[in-house]
Chain A
Amino acid sequence: MRGAEALIKALEYEGVKVIFGYPGGALLPFYDALYDSDLIHILTRHEQGAAHAADGYARASGKVGVCVGTSGPGATNLVTGVATAYADSSPIIAITGQVPTRLIGNDAFQEIDALGIFMPIVKHNFQIRSSKDIPTTVRAAFEIAKTGRPGPVHIDLPKDVQEEEFDIEENPIPAKIDLPGYKPTIKGHPKQIKMAVNAIMTAERPVIIAGGGVNIANATEELLKLAELCSIPVCTTLMGKGSFPEEHPLSLGMVGMHGTKPANYAVSECDLLIAIGCRFSDRITGDVSSFAPYAKIIHIDIDPAEIGKNVDVDIPIVGDAKVVMRDIISHLLKMYRESGRELSSEGRREWLEYLESLKRSNIPKMDYDDVPIKPQRIVKELMDVIEELKLKDRSIITTDVGQNQMWMAHYFKVHLPRTFLSSGGLGTMGFGLPSAIGAKIAKPDSKVICVTGDGGLMMNIQELGTIADYGIPVVVCVFDNRTLGMVYQWQNLFYGRRQCNVNFGESPDFVKVAKGYGIEAQRVTDPNDIKDVLKEALLSDEPYLIDFAIDPAEGLPMVPPGGKLKNIIDPVRERPRERIPCFQEIKRKLLGDSKDRSIPQESLQDLNSPVEKEMY
């Protein structure tokens, strides 16, 4: 069997049905083998799109996503997507073609040290030097990608190895794989669990921070049970959105830099903080020295390296969020039965009432009638339309990065896991559209809505071609303010309103671009039209782009970076006034105002000097 066929066989063995990719010279044997296989291949318009699509597929389904790119530029184009998956612990397999082994190290055409480039942005990577190693390597790659703390795994596959024949009978795909250096801890230490249970029983002002780990571990049921059992309010991180239903009375919304007031206050005033599958990133903690100052902290994480990395904790528990929470719940139930003790003490009741009052007094205003449209209004209408069309259980949102992402994270209420996909750790602009492709392929029966900004959309706008050609019915909602809003907001707040390179000007006309791709599109400028257009888009079973002209002055309340979580400040609401210089001005600056553009005589003389003549 040829190596390339073995690779496809190995992928099929892992249950892979779809791969996202872009062919090239070093992948010709692989694509030739693909010709005879049943694997579905989605041809994206750029390798970055393929990597994000595989990532979106993995996030929406919980299964491993696969992307493929050729050697050299194909590999480097995958990098951003793979790094995005790494930052958010998303299991993908990135396969790159490589020049034939005899040429490796020769700086051959389209050769790059892919192994070295991917090394710091993957959980692990392999270069396969012999086709007989393909079955075991692919098996190991999937095992590593999906177990423990998931993450991307990269396989570099030289062209000649794809062509090389070997006997698959002698080198079969192993059912079990032994990796001596890889033993993730799943079950929490019983002693630590007891300590956590005692802390939960005695706490008066507990709060849970649910991170992406809860979604990854599929532990939303356990989280709900734990929260309800002990009446513990829950806030989530950006990655944790969906791990707890946000309409639930115990939900406080998102915590951190763009968090809600109730969530940020709860964390700042609690006496017990239970952090589950969250890594205390700087976007969550703000100033670490004043983070949760009165709290004992329980930290549950499958990755021991996350314990004590950013924040010192009191009760660390290394293990899978689902397994650990189950253990905690069964301990709690046992203690209740034995002691017959009612949980909610006087102190805890006061705490819940306090947070409830904070929530009541901080219901965000969203029903603005302003023109240009306020983004809050779009988020509200989107939630209403989803409710009205009974899509709550089968809709998936992907966002881009920047203000559009934070408006969604802050205002949009998510109630199911794996239905809010966003690039959190790396903050990759351009993630929204291609990840929506992956999500729709993973969940073909769900409505997939990509909420993006004009900046983020333009970073991977070529993928409109992918959704158009395959007819993938993704609804793209552009929060269009022609401004790099998040940077603009920071410049206004922290750099004395010195707006620098955040204005995009008039081009392009997104409706025309979409129509150029053959995609139905509409521009919405009147807030009263939002609902109807959204409905039309969601009901059509075709790709659809809506260009919402939003108010560029609108921003987001935020905690200044490194600040205290309770210090939430308002944005400067001001129209951008930056002027884009025209090329003629730039040319004048580059060349000076001198009219004389001829070559100076001295330099010509240099060429005719005696020395030069002698040399030739």
Chain B
Amino acid sequence: MGRHPKKEELSTHIISALVLNNPGVLQRIAGLFSRRGYNISSITVGTTEIPNMARMTIVVKGDDKILEQVVKQLNKLIEVIKVSDLDVNKCVKRELCLIKIHTPDESSKSQVIQYTNVFRGKIVDLSQESLTVEITGRSDKINAFIDLVRTFGIKEVARTGLTALMRGPKVLKSKKS
């Protein structure tokens, strides 16, 4: 009978954390992940409906057992109000991406505009030589678009990383139990 927690498969987790919006809180949380040998794929932070509170969405990939430990350690932080490891299949996930594409002529411009329409993106800036497109959606959709326009020449990409909320009426607001 083994007592050692089993090594598990690496999987992607989306951690949603409601935190006090104090200076240093991001460092405190990011530090916890690095200390336990966990790499953060992306982290998004923004204010919420509650004054003085921010919501962080942290995407990490790794061993479930260590992740459980990280979530528990997050819960211990005084500035963390509530943490949840979101069920990947039961949440709404969005990412925003800005892409500056090399479009020196009319034909490439019109082609990119067409593609952008198919992906329900927006043209947000235009110059002689380039177009900047805004795409919002799931990460795989953004990846697909980037792959598609790569042939034109991508000058710059900026992605926000994933942000997510649980589907349905449930909220992540209650006090820690």
On A, residues with C-beta under 8 Å from B are 115-116, 119-120, 123-124, 127, 144, 179-183, 185, 285, 288-294, 303-305, 308-309, 311-312
Contacts and interface: CB of A to CB of B under 8 A. Distances in A.
Nearest to B77: A181
B35 A305 contact: no
Nearest to A151: B76
A305 B3 contact: no
Contacts of B2: 289
The listed residue with most B CB atoms (<10 A of its CB), out of A180, A289, A303, is A180
Contact of B78 (A181, A289, A292, A305): A181
B48 interface: no
Nearest to A123: B78
A180 B3 contact: no
Closest 8 CB pairs of A and B: A305-B72, A288-B4, A124-B78, A181-B81, A289-B4, A289-B2, A182-B78, A288-B3
Interface in B139-177: 175-177
A311 B162 CA distance: 33
B3 A120 contact: no
A308 B28 contact: no
B129 interface: no
A312 B5 contact: yes
Contacts of A294: 1
B24 interface: yes
B142 to A, nearest CB: 33
The listed residue with most A CB atoms (<10 A of its CB), out of B3, B24, B72, is B3
Contact of B81 (A180, A308, A312): A180
Nearest to B22: A126
Nearest to A115: B24
Contact of A305 (B69, B79, B80, B81): B69
Contacts of A183: 175-177
Given A180-B175, A304-B75, A305-B69, A119 B31 contact: yes
B15 to A, nearest CB: 15
A326 B78 CA distance: 28
A493 to B, nearest CB: 24
B111 interface: no
A123 B78 CA distance: 8
Given A119-B27, A119-B28, A182-B78, 14 more contacts: A116-B24, A119-B31, A120-B35, A123-B78, A127-B24, A181-B19, A181-B20, A181-B176, A182-B176, A303-B76, A304-B76, A305-B72, A312-B3, A312-B4
B68 interface: yes
Contacts of B110: none
Interface of chain A: mostly helix, strand, loop or mixed: loop
B73 interface: yes
A185 B177 CA distance: 8
5 contacts: A124-B77, A181-B20, A181-B80, A289-B3, A293-B1
Contacts of B68: 308
Nearest to B1: A293
Contacts of A288: 3-4
Contacts of A180: 20, 81, 175
Give the interface size bracket for B toward A: 20 to 34
B34 to A, nearest CB: 9
A276 to B, nearest CB: 18
Interface in B23-80: 23-24, 27-28, 31, 35, 68-69, 72-73, 75-80
B73 A305 contact: yes
Given A120-B35, A181-B176, A291 B78 contact: no
A115 B26 CA distance: 13
A578 B26 CA distance: 50
A293 B75 contact: no
A305 B77 CA distance: 11
A310 to B, nearest CB: 8
A181 B79 contact: yes
Given A116-B27, A119-B31, A181-B176, A292 B3 contact: yes
B135 to A, nearest CB: 35
A120 B175 CA distance: 24
A518 to B, nearest CB: 45
B66 to A, nearest CB: 10
A116 B80 CA distance: 17
Contacts of B20: 180-181
A189 to B, nearest CB: 11
B27 to A, nearest CB: 6
A308 B31 contact: no
Contacts of B81: 180-181
A75 B36 CA distance: 25
Nearest to A153: B78
Nearest to B28: A119
Contacts of A119: 24, 27-28, 31
A124 B5 CA distance: 29
Contacts of B175: 180, 183
Contacts of A123: 78
A291 B3 contact: yes
B84 to A, nearest CB: 14
Contacts of A115: 24
Nearest to A182: B78
B76 A293 contact: no
A284 to B, nearest CB: 12
